[in-house]
């Protein structure tokens, strides 16, 4: 037995919150009867309809992509640019998947794609503080004091960022650039680029090494992807609870 809003979300019709609204609005029926309460549980054999359309059970899928630069982190792009979902379509994946969160057009690295709206909502919620590990090539050489500022939080667009882990990884021989590892759990637009800019080191290149403990081990080349194992999916589901 699963909660009705979860079943609707899994079928890819709407997010769990939007599914709750559909239920409250009287647009959902179970075995022909309108249900307007949120606590109702249904079994696989129950006939659920939204606006008179039967729900088809869609099995949830979970993929980890090593995102290349030059692709958009969404299912569609109004400017017609290539998206992360296009990469899967080219490989014959037909499920209606979308990325959990975003990486910028020019950022590479770990990105999860799924059709599980409920898990997406939970992992994206600031309350769950999912760790994301980035390696940034920045201009100049970062000082210990600047690393400390990043750890304590810097002001970006009027808001102080949450405490982060920050480490200098290496410095180029000409000292024009360095590599900084930053572990954060916030996910504001251009978060890492803005944090590093705030301490005087604009990002030249950005790569996400890890998302929620999932690394790119086994996916060395940009554009490669794999399915998450059932154990990895369980870990993600536990994180979001």
Which active-site residues does the annotation give? 104
Least spacing, CB of residue 193 vs ligand URA, in Å = 4
CB of 200 to ligand URA, least distance (A): 16
Structure tokens at 129: 């503080």
Return d(Cα 178, Cα 138) in angstroms, integer.
6
C-beta of 73: minimal distance to ligand URA in Å?
8
Q: Are 181 and 134 in contact (CB under 8 A)?
A: yes
User: Which is nearer to ligand URA, 185 or 190 (by Cβ)?
Assistant: 190
Coil, strand, or helix at residue 174? coil
For ligand URA, which is the closer residue by CB, 4 or 71?
71
The least CB distance from residue 133 to ligand URA, in Å, is: 11
> Which residue, 7 or 164, has its beta carbon nearer to ligand URA?
164
Report the DSSP pairing between strands 165-171 and 177-184.
Answer: antiparallel
CA distance 77 to 54: 29
**How far is the C-alpha of 162 from the C-alpha of 20, rounded, in Å?**
31
β-strands 62-67, 177-184: how paired?
unpaired
Between 28 and 147, name the residue whose CB sits nearer to ligand URA: 147
Angle separating helix axes 230-239 and 117-124, nearest 10 degrees: 50
- Joined together, the tokens standing for residue 162 give 């949450």
- Contacts with ligand URA, residue ranges (CB under 6 A): 103-104, 107, 190-193, 206
E strand or H helix at 54, and its extent?
Answer: strand 53-54
Q: Toward ligand URA, which CB reaches closer, 122 or 193?
A: 193
Q: How far apart are CA 212 and CA 229, in angstroms?
A: 14
């Amino acid at each position: 037995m699963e909660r009705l809003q979860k079943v609707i979300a899994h079928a890819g019709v709407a997010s769990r919150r939007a599914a709750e609204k559909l239920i409250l609005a009287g647009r959902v029926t179970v075995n022909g009867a309108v249900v307007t309460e949120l606590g109702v549980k249904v079994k696989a054999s129950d006939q659920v309809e939204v606006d008179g359309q039967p729900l088809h059970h869609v099995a949830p899928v979970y993929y980890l992509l090593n995102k290349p630069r030059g692709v958009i982190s969404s299912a569609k792009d109004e400017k017609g640019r290539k998206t992360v979902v296009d990469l899967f379509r080219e490989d014959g994946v037909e499920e209606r998947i979308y990325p959990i969160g975003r990486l910028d057009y020019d950022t590479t690295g770990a990105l999860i794609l799924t059709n599980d709206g409920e898990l997406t909502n939970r992992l994206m919620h600031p309350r769950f503080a999912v760790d994301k590990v980035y390696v940034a090539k920045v201009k100049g050489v970062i000082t210990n004091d600047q690393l400390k500022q990043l750890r304590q939080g810097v002001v970006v667009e009027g808001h102080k960022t949450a405490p982060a882990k920050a480490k200098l990884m290496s410095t180029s021989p000409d000292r024009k650039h360095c590599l900084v590892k930053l572990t954060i759990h916030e996910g504001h637009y251009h978060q890492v680029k803005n944090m590093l800019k705030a301490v005087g080191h604009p990002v030249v290149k950005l790569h996400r090494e890890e998302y929620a403990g999932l690394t790119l081990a086994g996916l060395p080349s940009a554009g490669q992807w794999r399915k998450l194992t059932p154990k990895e999916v369980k870990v993600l589901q536990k994180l979001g609870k």
